[in-house]
C-alpha cells in the first residue's frame, strides 16, 4: 500500500512538472506571438516610409526633369532668337 502511494505521488509530481513545462511553453509562444506582432507593425511602418520616400523621390525627379526640359527649351529659344 505504501509503495502504491509512493508510485502515485511520483506520478503526480511528474505530471505536475509536465504541466508546468507545458505552461512555460505556452507563455513562450504567447511572448513570441507578441514579438511577431510588434515586428510586423514595425515592418509595415517601414514599408509605408519607404513607399512615401519613393513617391517623394519620384515627384522630385519629375520636377527636376520638367525644370531641365524648360531650361533646354529656354536655351534653344534664346539661341534661335540670336
What is the DSSP code (8-state) at residue 1? -
Query: Across the chain, what does the average pLDDT equal?
Result: 93
Q: Determine whether 36 is exposed, middle or buried from the number of CB atoms within 10 Å of its CB (0-12, 13-18, 19+).
A: exposed
For residue 27, the tally of other CB atoms under 10 A from its CB is: 10
pLDDT of residue 82: 66
pLDDT of residue 80: 76
Top-confidence residue, 48 or 74? 48
Amino acid at each position: 500500500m505504501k509503495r502504491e502511494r509512493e508510485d502515485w505521488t511520483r506520478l503526480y509530481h511528474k505530471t505536475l512538472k509536465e504541466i508546468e513545462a507545458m505552461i512555460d511553453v505556452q507563455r513562450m509562444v504567447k511572448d513570441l506571438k507578441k514579438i511577431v506582432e510588434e515586428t510586423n507593425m514595425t515592418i509595415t511602418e517601414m514599408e509605408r516610409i519607404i513607399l512615401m520616400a519613393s513617391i517623394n523621390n519620384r515627384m522630385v525627379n519629375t520636377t527636376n526633369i520638367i525644370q531641365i526640359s524648360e531650361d533646354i527649351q529656354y536655351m534653344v529659344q534664346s539661341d534661335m532668337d540670336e
